[in-house]
């Protein structure tokens, strides 16, 4: 008698759980690609950090791709889930110092946008929050 063996195998790699802290001080282009890689994606709102005394020039979309994420938070005000990403020029990060941005983690975005949800520190890109 022949018996057929059935093996279960996943069809795709598990989708990542993204923590806010894992996005910090990474290039925006990488962070954006990661956030858009799951079966669902949070709505991304880009904010730009401009140091005091610098001209307030809005960078183009192409310029922002080279920027660094210096602060972030999830927000339920944007449905199904939103994420605010505060971006800075790499030169600014170098000048101010990565440690300064790490020390101010979670404190910069609220200066730009209200509505951060501190109780949400991670999302699963394989499970929509709705």
**Which pLDDT tens digit goes with each residue over 55-87?**
988 899 999 999 999 999 999 998 889 999 999
Domain-located, residue 95:
yes
Domain-located, residue 129:
no
Residue range(s) defining the domain that contains residue 104: 17-124
Q: What is the pLDDT, as a whole number, of residue 111?
A: 86
pLDDT at 6 over 70: no
Domain-located, residue 11:
no
Q: Which residues of 89-103 are buried (b: 16+ CB within 10 A; e: fewer)?
A: beebbeeeeeeebee
pLDDT tens track for 92-121: 999 999 999 999 988 999 888 889 999 999
Domain-located, residue 85:
yes
Rounded-to-integer distance, Cα 25 and Cα 88, Å: 9
pLDDT at 9 over 70: no
pTM over 0.75: yes
Domain-located, residue 119:
yes
Structure tokens at 56: 């307030």
Domain-located, residue 7:
no
Whole-number percent of the chain with pLDDT over 70: 88
Rounded-to-integer distance, Cα 64 and Cα 48, Å: 9
- Total domains, the chain: 1
Token look-up 């183009």 returns 60
Domain-located, residue 10:
no
pLDDT tens track for 34-58: 999 999 999 999 999 999 898 988 8
Domain-located, residue 57:
yes
The two beta strands, 82-88 and 122-124, are: unpaired
């Amino acid at each position: 008698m022949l018996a057929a063996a059935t093996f279960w195998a996943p069809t795709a790699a598990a989708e990542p759980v993204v923590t806010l802290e894992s996005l910090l001080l990474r290039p925006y282009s990488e962070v954006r690609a990661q956030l858009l890689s799951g079966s669902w994606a949070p709505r991304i709102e880009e904010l730009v950090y401009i140091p005091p005394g610098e001209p307030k020039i809005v960078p183009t979309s192409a310029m922002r791709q080279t920027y660094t994420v210096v602060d972030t938070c999830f927000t339920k005000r944007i449905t199904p889930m939103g994420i605010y990403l505060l971006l800075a020029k790499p030169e600014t990060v170098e000048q101010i110092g990565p440690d300064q941005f790490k020390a101010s983690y979670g404190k910069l975005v609220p200066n730009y946008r209200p509505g951060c949800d501190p109780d949400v520190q991670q999302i699963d890109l394989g499970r929509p929050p709705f």
